[in-house]
Structure 1
Amino acid sequence: MFSRIFIDRPRLAMVISIIITLAGLISLTRIPVAKFPSILPPQVRVRAYYPGADAETVAKTVAAPIEKEMNGVDNMLYMESTSSNDGSYMLTITFAVGTNPDINQVNVQNRIQLALPRLPDEVVAQGLDIRKRSLNMLAILVFYSPKGTRSKIYLSNYIDRYVKDDLVRLKGISDAYIYGERRFSMRIWLDPRRLTAMNLIPQDVIAAIRSQNIQAALGSLGAEPIGKEQQLQITLRTKGRLKSADEFKRIVIRTNASGGVVRVGDVARVKLEGESYITSSFLNGRPSIGMALYRATGANAMDAMKEVREELKRLSKHFPRDVDYKIIMDSTRYIRASIHEIILTLFLTAFLVILVIYVFLQNWRATLIPSAAVPVSIIGTFAVLLAMGMSANTISLFALVLAIGLVVDDAIVVVENVHRLMEEEGLQAREATIKSMEQVTGPIVATTLVLLAVFMPIAFVPGISGQLYRQFAVTICVSVIISAICALTLSPALCATLFTSEIHLHQ
């Protein structure tokens, strides 16, 4: 008989239960914490920019080649794209639930490479941004100027250069998106009348800017092979790319034999301003820039948000004057409140279950045996959840609340049967426990299999609904299996150890 091993060696049964509990406690410190299970399908976002193009031009020259190659990529469910009049293009590809986001991104990049030769040179020169996109928004931050002395362009560039990268590097953060971003850009407004008068076209201006706004490598003077008389070697450096509006105004577009020179400033207005003015944001009437932070797949939302707060506190010490931040949306507040309520319910349920057991058994020794199955089964479940890549969320914690009433059933059956044999047949605790386990081992196994047959099918429901309730089924099934192990190992060992011939249970 399987349980006889643990009746004769009660320490072995206790060690097994302690190992299960310790594994669960260690997993509690490492398991991801989230609001809900990860049920959203992974996405990959492709961004491109065609300067000066309208939405129709972007759709024909950028969207069409990319989407033609993207059609049929592995595990793709659907894709949607947006072409805007500011020349921007964004394509979002949604993949099947459960697929690897990294593999999806690689597949998209391979398809993009096939479309590159058919894209306009201006688009290729700007570069294509291909990133995994997470829909798990962790928080929304707002950076603003309390006194209104800082412009949106200043705030946007400061955040982009000194804040965004530091936040993205934090553990648990997959991406940071700036709303209403206004990067510094050299904006050039051409005067059509001046261009016509000087017999120029916009392409002449563009070609002049491209040819003169470069970072050239000029090499060195006195580099080898050199003669013995050569004493010095000088590396040549140029001024590099232009920085100010005055430097762009002085770019030469055309010259003639008589010494005439046409510069950019003669046919255009040049000013350093924002790259785009499509969106604007305000906080209580003050200029502001928003930033959304997205949680990485499998990351602990609570720990990630804690690191974000600490990093913002550190960065704020170096903010310029009249620049401040505010967290206007924190998803972990709801998570924290929900988990707190569920944990409170968990302890309350455990207390009520133990109280009911004591009321009916009327003995603390008998109550202790089924009560021991509660922490072992509940805490040990977290070790399996972590090993399966699941998280502690409202669904899995709710399943644990329901499981508390199930995990004590098998142990109660063992205790009641041992007591019956001690009273009816006058057996000692050890003999009664051995005979009891011969009678109830089969029913305990059968009861466990029945419960698994009820909850296990939920784990195989397809689609997003199945992904949502899979953790519910796994949590209950694992806790029931651990309780059956306790009923076959720990409970008989405790019965043989704690029961005495004088014990009387209230019938």
Structure 2
Amino acid sequence: LRPRREMRGPLGLFFRGFNRVFERVMGGYLNGSRFLIRKAAFAILLLLGAAAVSGLLGIRLPGGFVPEEDQGYIFVNVQLPMAASLDRTAAVNDKLDAIFKTQPGIKYYTGVAGFSLLSLVTTTYNSFYFITLDDWDARHKHGLTANVIIRQLNQKLAGVAEAQVFAFSPPAIPGIGTSGGVTFILEDRSGKDPAFLAENTENFLAAARKRPEFARLFTTLLPSVPQFFADVDRDKVLKQGINLSSVYQALQAFLGGAFVNYFNQYGRVWQVYVQAEGEFRTHADNVGRFYVRNAAGQPVPLSTLVRMREVNGPEFTTRFNEYRAAQINGLLAPGFSTRQGMQALEEVFAQTMSRDMGFDYSGMSFQEQVASQGVPASAVIGFSVLVVFLLMAALYESWTLPFAVLLATPIAMFGALGALWLRGFELDVFSQIGMLMVIGLAAKNAILIVEFAKVAYEGGMSLFDAALEGVRVRRRALFMTSFAFILGCVPLWTAAGAGAVGRQVLGTVVIGGMLTDTLIASLFISVSFYVSERFRRASPRVTARAVSAPAAISGGAGDEPPAGGSRP
């Protein structure tokens, strides 16, 4: 090959300086590996300590499922006093509109009076807002993330005295549930009346609101709403020869509404309902304005057959798994995960509820509960390590040499979990995927050194020198490829926009694990190779093979006959 000429100029000066500094650093790594090989027992203890610390970090990190992202929109729920009129709800909405217009980061909003997204029930004293936020680029300059806007809005909405108003985030996966946080279902499994469920729900919320895991807890249960009860005097109805069903139909049609039929117009299907005008059904006394006919065909006012009286009762009844239930939504305080929130509610349930009560989860919380009851993350990580071990055993045809590849993995896991802890992230699905990547990448880095050390050892070098030879030959390639990968993952670390949290978690795990694997674990790879080969040589099954000299060949092309024989 043509000899390379030395690069000149500023670029050549930079490369020569870089190589000098890099060689000094690599020389320090080589000296460190030499020291750790001589103190192999101490090095193994350090590896065991890293594994123990990694396990403790994994236990201390808050668990989660899917992180809540800034999806570009938020929800607002409005709850007025029980049985408040729709006019009062509309007046509160006008007040809220003025607040939303002055809130930075809101692009536009849509309000629905008379509907609650949390309970999916139509009432006159509920309202719901769908708020669309500004584009990412416009909000990112001012640090207006969805969580920041929710906090600012809730501070302003706390001053609305006419209703309970709060903003909350949508579910992490759209379509699974109606809100973020925790969705807890409190069930009455004894089959008692609604008052029993309402009393237990009140006691449960009073205890749960004392927990620091939640910023807000609320329920969709409306157990005591002012209502009118139509008490039909059946005996009087039958004495006058009136059909009982006609009385109920008249009450429904005039005071509520009755479906008649469909008709087609303008290419659409329309529904026909019959109902009294609003001015004739605003008071309970108006029931006397409605009539039914008796057996003689004479009109009879409903006021003579029906007595209207005021009662209190539930607005609606929620059934979950066939039990009467109360839905409880919990918005988490900063620094707490959904797993911690679920554990807190379960602890409160165990402390306050009787055996007649039960609980379940809905929405994203149900998905997280099902995932937690399946194969745990520790089993998945352990199985991935086992697969790597078996592949290495097949590659090297040895049961001990794969330990040289895997013994440095706990240090990489320590870096991954430590980075999660420092940035305050949860141990969720994205972090588990990142840890599986770190295990594979750490094994790849170890293979680069172990392969060359194995070749050098089989070539006649001593075990000590062969372990250092692998570090000396492959240390530059290991550092260059690892840092190229780490720099390529920096955009994940600093991600912004839609799905930013998931990318940040993944980038944090991978960068933290690869940094510790490259800077620290690479010192221990030669030690693990040295120790594994020492154990392999000490194994009673490993015996030296005697190399026999090749047997002499009789005959040949020479003139002399072979000893003790004659030429044919």
User: Matched residue of 2:219: which SS?
Assistant: strand
Match of residue 382 from structure 2: 347
3-state SS of 2:498 partner: helix
* Mapped partners of 2:372, 2:83: distance in 1: 47
* Distance of 1:178 and 1:497 partners within structure 2: 61
Distance in 1, matches of 2:357 and 2:399, equals 60
Evaluate the alpha carbon distance shift between residue 387 and residue 88 of structure 1 in structure 2; reply closer, same or farther with a 3 A threshold. Answer: same
- Of 162, 178, 184 in structure 2, the residue corresponding to residue 140 of structure 1 is 184
CA distance in 1, matches of 2:155, 2:379: 50
User: 2 CA distance for matches of 1:142 and 1:130?
Assistant: 22
1:108 maps onto 2:153 in alignment? yes
1:105/1:187 Cα in 2 relative to 1: closer, same or farther (>3 Å)?
A: farther
Structure 1 segments unaligned to the other structure (5+ residues): 117-122, 190-268
> Structure with the greater relative contact order (CA < 8 A, sep ≥ 6): 1 or 2?
1
Following superposition, the deviation at residue 127 of structure 1 comes to 5.1
* Alignment-derived partner of residue 49 in structure 1: 80
Q: Which amino acid aligns with 1:482?
A: T
Shift of residue 14, structure 1, vs aligned partner: 4.8
Equivalent residue for 1:359?
394
Say which SS state the counterpart of residue 9 (structure 1) adopts: helix
1:443 aligned onto 2:466: no
**Secondary structure of 1:29's aligned partner:** helix
Match of 2:246 in 1: none
Letter in 2 for 1:420: V
User: Which residue does the alignment assign to 1:7?
Assistant: 33
Structure 1 residue 158, shift from structure 2 partner? 1.1
Residue-by-residue CA offset, 1:157-180 (whole Å, 9 max, x unaligned): 414532212133345344433224
- In the other structure, the counterpart of 1:386 is 421
Tell me, what secondary structure is at the counterpart of 1:290? strand
Alignment of 1:318-333 (within 5 A): 324-327=357-360, 329=362, 330-333=366-369
Asked if residue 183 in structure 1 is aligned to residue 224 in structure 2, the reply is yes
Number of the residue aligned with 2:300:
none
- Report the secondary structure of 1:176's partner residue: strand
Counterparts of 1:11-410 in structure 2, within 5 Å, are: 11=39, 14=44, 17-18=47-48, 20-40=50-70, 43=74, 45=76, 47=78, 49=80, 54-55=85-86, 58-59=89-90, 61-76=91-106, 79-84=109-114, 86-91=124-129, 104=149, 107-108=152-153, 111-112=156-157, 124=161, 126=162, 128-130=164-166, 135-144=179-188, 146-148=190-192, 150=193, 152=194, 154-155=195-196, 157-170=198-211, 172-183=213-224, 271=310, 273-274=312-313, 277=315, 279-282=316-319, 288-294=324-330, 296=332, 298-317=335-354, 324-327=357-360, 329=362, 330-340=366-376, 342-410=377-445
Q: 2 CA distance for matches of 1:52 and 1:501? A: 80
CA RMSD of aligned residues (A): 4.1
**How far does the alpha carbon of each residue in 1:410-454 deviate from its partner, in whole angstroms, 9 at most, with x for none?**
212212222333444x43333344444232111001121233355
Letter in 1 for 2:210: R
- CA 1:375/1:77 → structure 2, altered by over 3 Å: closer, same or farther? farther
| CA displacement, residues 14-73 of structure 1 (integer Å, 9 cap, x when unaligned) | 5664554343222111212122123255957463537876546643x3222322232242
Distance 1:456 1:298 in 2: 24
3-state SS in 1 of match to 2:349: helix
Aligned length: 404
Counterpart selection for 1:475 from 494, 501, 509 = 509
The whole-number CA distance in structure 2 between the counterparts of 1:166 and 1:468 is 33
- TM-score for the superposition, normalised by structure 2: 0.60
CA contact (8 A) 2:463 2:530 kept: yes
User: Counterparts of 2:408 and 2:62 in 1: how far apart (Å)?
Assistant: 25
Letter in 1 for 2:474: V
SS in structure 1 at match of 2:62: coil
Q: CA deviation at 1:368?
A: 1.9
In the alignment, residue 315 of structure 1 is paired with which amino acid? T
Match of 1:416 among 451, 455, 461: 451
Q: Distance in 1 between matches of 2:359 and 2:529?
A: 59
Change (3 A) 1:285 1:133: same
Q: Aligned partners of 1:445, 1:25: CA distance in 2, in Å? A: 27
- 1: distance between equivalents of 2:65 and 2:211? 20
8 A contact 2:61–2:421 mirrored in 1: yes
Structure 2: which 5+ residue stretches go unaligned? 1-26, 115-122, 134-138, 171-178, 231-307, 543-568
Q: Which amino acid aligns with 2:222?
A: E
Indicate conservation of the 8 Å contact 1:185/1:272, yes or no: yes
